[in-house]
Structure 1
Amino acid sequence: MKRHVLIFGLVGGLLIAILQYTEYRFVVIEHSVELYGALVAILFAAFGIWLGLRITRGRETIRETVVVREVLVAAEAAAPLASDAAPFAPDTARQQSLGITARELEILTLVARGLSNREIATQLFVSENTVKTHCARAFDKLGAARRTQAVLRGKELGLLP
């Protein structure tokens, strides 16, 4: 009886070993291209994650450096008006004759203060493209090619202070 158990155990172990070998052969040898591809994909994914972390950590360092060296400049303070001086009012008749809208005049006033398109967009809660469109239309109506020409022409026509 012990002999039969021993033989059955050895045969079972041998069959398991053969099954493991054929499974190994099937998985490794038959699918070696897929395994190689998966290994390459894992390596590239790991390299991409490492590189991405390295790049983003570098940018954070640069941002911190820029923030540390940021210089705050006080906004221009409005000059106090003399007791007899009235606030500036644009020439509405000239504005209407040129066809300049109130929004274009508002943006032209902010251009005269020296604000960039991005700063104007932020202040007026519109997109930067909207500011560019209003600027272009106002410049065309004033016959100006550049911001400085538009501001100068607006002052000459009494539209800007």
Structure 2
Amino acid sequence: MSPLLKTVLRFGLIILALLILFQLTNASLFIPSISADFVIGIAAIILIALGVYLGKAVRKEKVVEVKPSSVIDEERILSLGISPRELEVLQLISEGLSNQEIGEKLFVSESTIKTHISNLFVKLDVKRRTQAVIRANEWRIIP
């Protein structure tokens, strides 16, 4: 069923429920034996049922992103001359940590981290942290 047809059917059901509600209120005016509470109760049941039905129909499915198995290319790391510490820094950059947070985590100064990042930029031939992470993922340097 096309999305357009689904949308048209949903709006049609809403309009139908409203028309039924209006007709029930008219019936209570012409038939005095029908109480207003009964009409309100019937309308509530109809609208709740419609809401539950439309809620199930509209619910979106969860999208789960699955990363492909990441096999690290050790030869590429060696050919680029990336040290184990630079690789560690690159991994922490990919986790979104700042220079200060990386320094605290690795127990080194922020200027040392800046030096490692500068060396990584040269070795990966990039100018920004995001480019470094993208290139590292493309070249399978980090998982």
| Matches for 1:67-86 after TM superposition, within 5 Å | none
In structure 2, what is the equivalent of residue 91 of structure 1? 73
2:91 is aligned with 1:109 = yes
TM-score, length basis structure 2: 0.51
Consecutive unaligned residues of structure 1, counting only runs of 5 or more, are: 1-84
Quote the Cα distance in structure 1 between the aligned partners of 2:95 and 2:74.
20
In structure 2, what is the equivalent of residue 61 of structure 1? none
Quote the Cα distance in structure 1 between the aligned partners of 2:109 and 2:73.
28
Quote the Cα distance in structure 2 between the aligned partners of 1:101 and 1:138.
9
3-state SS of 2:82 partner: coil
Quote the Cα distance in structure 1 between the aligned partners of 2:71 and 2:120.
18
2:101 is aligned with 1:119 = yes
Quote the Cα distance in structure 2 between the aligned partners of 1:126 and 1:103.
11
Consecutive unaligned residues of structure 2, counting only runs of 5 or more, are: 1-67
TM-score, length basis structure 1: 0.45
3-state SS of 2:140 partner: coil
| Matches for 1:12-161 after TM superposition, within 5 Å | 88-161=70-143
Larger RCO of the pair (alpha carbons < 8 Å, separation 6+) = 2
**AA partner of residue 137 (structure 1):** N
Quote the Cα distance in structure 2 between the aligned partners of 1:102 and 1:137.
13
Quote the Cα distance in structure 2 between the aligned partners of 1:111 and 1:90.
17
What is the number of residues matched between the two proteins?
77
CA positional deviation for 1:89: 4.8
Query: Cα RMSD between the aligned structures?
Result: 1.8
CA positional deviation for 1:91: 1.2
**AA partner of residue 98 (structure 2):** S
Q: Which structure: larger Rg? A: 1
CA positional deviation for 1:132: 0.4
3-state SS of 2:120 partner: helix
Identity of aligned residues (%): 51
